[in-house]
Structures are given as structure tokens and as C-alpha cells.
Chain A
Amino acid sequence: MTAQVLFKNRHPDRIATLAEYRHSGGYEALAKVLADSSRQQVQQVLTDAVLLGRGGAAFPAGVKLSTVAADAPYPRYVVCNADEMEPGTFKDRVLIHADPHQLLEGICLAGFAVDAHEGIIFIRPEYEGAARILEREIALAEKEGLLGQNILGSGFDFDIIVHRSGGRYICGEVTAQLNAIMGRRPNPQQPPPYPTEKGLWDRPTVLQNVETLCCMPHIVRNGADWFKGLARTESGAGTKIFGISGRVRRPGCFELPMGVRLSEIIENHAGGMAEGSRFKACLPGGASTGFLPAEHYDIPMDFESLKQAGNRLGTGAIMVFDHRTCLVGVTLNLMEFFARESCGWCTPCREGLPVIRELLREIEEGRGKPEYVGVLKEMGRHLWNAYCAFAPGAAAPLESLLAHFADEVQEHIERKACPFG
């Protein structure tokens, strides 16, 4: 078993208690910071630790926090993105269920780092269970003086509330999420201004993913070098929660060093490929990453290596497909998802995705024409000019299908049927 940091207190059948969390060193980071650190020191250690955002975009968290100007107006907000609606992704849910106080401490630390006094956990409706856990644990933490007014006698106030979403994938996107919280239609809003300058109610707002925030207490407590040392590769830092699903024997969430090889995750942790299955490809980081073909079976799973391979680590949600899986079908299913969840603001996404879906359906159902391949390629390329990152996300699986599995697509068209039946 490799070092367990975020999953240290994870139990298969229950939630870690506040006492357990504190026993394992929980809230020490907060106490330390409140006692003798400055905002800048917290920002610095996170920057030095190269903590890259775990929500998909891999933006350095320390840098983001430091963009809130010292003289920025109040109130300031921290938003925890627990929307997690991308197909294949479920790590944030597991993290909350495993050790909720780790997240609460992380949010509070981020709050301290930007001198915010309110944290908002934005959570999808499917995670009602997690929302209730969080509300319960927030109350507990408040009772013990770990949240709320005058935390640990330091004079620092910080409240956390749980904000329930009505449920739409686009709400995971930063600016759409802020609109959602403000009770507006959750259309994204192109910066500038950036949320760290003008976010919720035009006030500075820092938004981070659940896992990113969960890393913070550990970094603050153990230092940047320790965190970097957790990774298997030079280019990586820390551990990563990999949620693995699809054609493997034991789907689930595993905390592993950043840079662990894909093959190792599948074979050692997910119990290997499912009965009678051979690895064909995977989506390495959620539905908006590209198909990673078998030639990369041994790739080190960190942000940099996947970038080198022309792909993305995204959220680290690995979806494994075997030799019997029709990737045209998979892509069609993904396009179904993207087309349905688009916010409807810009043309490429709102109009392009349904058209792409229909072309793929034609191909999958044996009515494809040879010229559709070119049309799909063109459209995939044009998705990149959408208003926000949603449509480019949808382009990733589509374009990689056409690039790496052109034969499979061709076979559908020639046979006038799906070769996988």
C-alpha cells in the first residue's frame, strides 16, 4: 500500500469522525496558521508545493489564491466545487464520505489565505447524502470552535454553507457556478474580470475543487517538499485520487502517487481487466479528455506526461474500455451527454454538439456516409472556438476517436453496421 494522505482515515463502510480526523493531525494546520502565519505564507507554501487544481484545469492553487489583491474589497468568498458532474468522475463524493473535516479544514485554510470569511460548498443534487453529512459536520466543527466565530480563539471568523445545485453539468464551470450560486441562469461568463477580482456579488472569489482543497491542510502541515516528494515523477507533486471504472475487475477510488503508471493502477489496484477483457483504450481523466490508446498503457499518470501524450489528466477519472467496446458507441454516448448538458449560450456547443451526435448515431447505426468523417473532423476542430471550455471538452473524445480509431469508424461505415453488434 502506498502512502495514504487524503484517504488516511477512509473506512470502507463509514465516515471518519471529527475525533478521528483530529487524532490524525486534523485541524493542526489551521491552528498553526491561525497562530503564526501570514496570508502570504500560506499562499507561498501551496505555490511551492506545486498543487495543481484537481478539478480538471490543473491551475496552480497557490497562484490562484495570490491573485486576490491584498487591498481587494470585502466580503470575499471561497467556493468549493463539489459539482462533479462529468461522467466517470466520483472521487469528490468519495472524499467527502471518507473524511469530511479534511475538506472543511481545507476550505477554511483557503479562506484564511485570502482573508475570506465565508465558504460555500456547491454540491450536485445527486449527492444529497454528502450534502447532509457536510451540514452535520459543519455544525460539529462550529461547536468545537473549529469554524464560525473566533476560530480557536484566534479572532478569525469563517462560516461554511452548503449550496445545493439544481443539477446541470455546466454548473461545474467556475463562472457558471458563480452565476448559479447567485440565483441566475448558470451561463458561463468570459473573463475579465476574473472571479478572484470580481466573483460572487462582484466580490473576490476563489473557487477550488474538493480534492484540491483536501490537499491543503496536509501541505500546510507537512511542507511543500514533503508534498512534492509524494509523487512518483519529477513533473508531478502529491498524491492523486484516481477513480477507475469501466472494464476492470474492481472499479473504485484509489489514492496513489502522482505519476503512477496506468498499467499499475489497472493491474495492481483495480484488480486487472475484467474477465476476458483486453485493454483497448481509456479516457484518462473524465469525459472531456481524449481516448488514450493501448500504446500508452504504461504512461505515468501526471499532468505533464499526459500533456506530452497529447491528452490531459483532467480529474483523474479513468474509464477503461476493452477490445469488445465500440468506441463509436462510447463517443456517441458522450456526445449525448454533452449535447444535453450544454447551457445553450453559444452556437458551437448548443447547435454543434447535437449535430455531431446525430452524425455519430448515423455511423453507429450503419447509415454513415464516408464524407461524415471529414465533417466530424471539421466540426470537432471548430468546437474549440466555443464560448467556454465545455465544448472543447466535448471535442477531446471526438477528435481522439477520429485520430486514433479511424479504422473502427471506417469499419462502421463500410459494413453499414456496428462491428461490435
Chain B
Amino acid sequence: MLPENLKKELQDRIAAVDHPRELVVDVLFALQAHYGFVTDEAVEEAAGLLGMTPMEVDEVATFYTFVYRRPVGKYVIHVCDSVICWLEGGRSLQEYLSQKLSIAPGETTADGLFTLLPVCCIGYCDRAPAMLINKKVYGPLTPETIDQLLDELREAH
């Protein structure tokens, strides 16, 4: 169940626009932030808020890279696997991450902290090889910077 204040906040935003559907991604992001990912229930809630059918919301939700329809960890690592990062050794970095976290791409660590998702070019080719953690960019990466980052995040937790 959506907490009242979040619901109210979204309702206010929706009431302020001419076309509620315009906010579907924003609402999904908000629900994702609340639930951790977009649950089936969240799809229905979004539909209710936006005056769409759940199917219409799901058709959109399942389209996008940054809308997670399955559980993810606290930190979602989007590691770029497109051409410039690949050229700069991105593949071995991804393998390094996999090995460090003991997960395959697409998986979440047992402690629920990290999810590793290879994605296409994140627009930081000048900082290749690069990755995003919860939409914050890091690069150019080396095994050392990765070690350090993961340690910091673990500690922060």
C-alpha cells in the first residue's frame, strides 16, 4: 500500500497537468523508489492514479531500461557495455564486477545490496569505461576504483 503522503504528492502533481498520462514514467519512478522496484501492485496503483488501465501502464513499464519490473538490490549498477567502454576494457571490468560480487549480469547479490545490469552507452564516453550506480556516474574505472567504490557503498550501508 502506498503511504498517504506519497499518494497525496502524486495526486497533486497529476492534478496540476493537462494530461496525466504524461507523468507515467515519473509516477513509476516514484513508486519504484518507494517499493524498491515496480511491483504488480505498483502498476495497478499507478494506473489508478493516472486514469490508465493497468495493462497500459505495464506496456510502458516493461519497455524501459530504468523501470524495474523485478526486484533489484539497493544499489543498481548499470555498467556500460557499448562500443567506447568496450574498447577501453569495459568487458573485463564487467567480469571483474561479476566476480567481486559473485553474481552474473542481471543478478542481485545475496545480501540484496547490488544488482548488476549491463546497459547500452550511458553518454559518458569521455570517461570510458564508465558505469552508473543509482544513476550517479563513475569513470574512467579501474579494478582499484571499483574495489574502493564497492567498499564505500558497503560501509555506508
A/B contact in complex, CB under 8 angstroms: yes
Report which A residues bind B (CB closer than 8 A). 84-90, 93, 124-129, 163-169, 180-186, 201, 243, 245-247, 251-253, 287, 317, 319, 321, 325, 329-330, 333-334, 336-337, 340-341, 343
B63 contacts A186, CB within 8 Å?
A: yes
Decide if B154 is an interface residue (CB 8 Å cutoff): no
Residues of B within 8 A of A184 (CB): 21, 60
Q: Which residue of A lies closest to B126 (CB)?
A: A251
CA distance A247 to B86 in the complex (A): 12
**Highest count of chain A CB atoms <10 Å: which of B19, B61, B66:** B66
- The reply on B110 being an interface residue by CB < 8 A is no
| One of B1-9, B100-108, B117-125 contacting the partner | B117-125
In the A-B complex, the 7 residue pairs with the closest CB atoms: A166-B64, A183-B21, A87-B121, A245-B125, A167-B65, A183-B24, A87-B82
B146 within 8 A of A: no
Give Cα A86–Cα B18 distance, bound, in whole angstroms: 31
Across the interface, A325 reaches (CB within 8 A) one of B59, B87, B124, B126, namely B87
Whether B22 contacts A182 by the Cβ 8 Å rule is yes
- Find out whether the CB atom of B23 lies under 8 angstroms from the CB atom of A183: yes
Assess whether B141 is interfacial by the CB under 8 Å rule. no
Residue on A nearest B63 in the bound complex, by CB: A185
Q: Chain A residues with Cβ under 8 A from B59's Cβ?
A: 185
Determine if A334 and B22 form an interchain contact, defined as CB atoms under 8 angstroms apart. no
The residues of B that contact A253 with a CB separation of less than 8 Å are 126
> Which one of B20, B29, B59, B86 has the highest number of Cβ atoms from chain A below 10 Å of its Cβ?
B86
Which residue of chain B lies nearest to A89 when distances are taken between CB atoms in the complex?
B123
Taking a contact as CB atoms closer than 8 A, the residue among B86, B122, B136 that contacts A333 in the complex is B86
Check B135–A128 contact: CB distance below 8 A.
yes
Q: Check: B132 CB closer than 8 A to any chain A CB.
A: yes
Fill in one digit per residue for B12-32: 1 if any A CB lies within 8 Å of its CB, else 0.
000000111111111011000
| A166/B66 contact (C-beta < 8 A), A126-B122, A330-B83 known | yes
Q: CB of B128 within 8 A of chain A? A: yes
CA distance A181 to B17 in the complex (A): 13
Instruction: Decide yes or no whether B81 CB sits under 8 A from chain A.
Output: yes
Contact assessment for A166 and B121 in the assembled complex, using a CB-CB cutoff below 8 Å: no
Is the pair B86, A163 in contact by a Cβ cutoff of 8 Å? Answer: no
B28 to chain A, nearest CB (A): 7
Tell me whether A86 and B121 are in contact (CB under 8 A).
yes
Could you pull out 28 A-B pairs where Cβ atoms are within 8 angstroms? A89-B121, A90-B126, A93-B124, A124-B123, A125-B66, A125-B135, A129-B137, A165-B64, A166-B25, A166-B63, A166-B66, A167-B66, A168-B65, A169-B120, A181-B22, A183-B19, A183-B20, A185-B59, A201-B18, A243-B125, A245-B84, A247-B87, A251-B125, A251-B128, A253-B126, A321-B87, A330-B83, A337-B82
Q: Which of B110-149 contact A (CB under 8 A)?
A: 119-126, 128, 132, 135-137
| One of B25, B84, B120 near A319 (C-beta < 8 A) | B84
> Which of A181, A334, A341 is in CB contact (< 8 Å) with B83?
A334
> In the docked arrangement, what's the CA distance between A125 and B68, Å?
13
Contact A85 B120 (CB under 8 A): yes
Check: B52 CB closer than 8 A to any chain A CB: yes
Task: Say if the beta carbon of B49 comes within 8 Å of chain A.
Answer: no
| Shortest distance between the CB of A276 and any CB in chain B (Å) | 15
Query: Across the interface, do B120 and A88 meet the contact criterion of CB distance under 8 Å?
Result: no
Beyond A89-B123, A183-B21, list 7 extra A-B contacts (CB 8 Å).
A89-B125, A126-B78, A168-B65, A180-B25, A186-B63, A251-B126, A337-B121
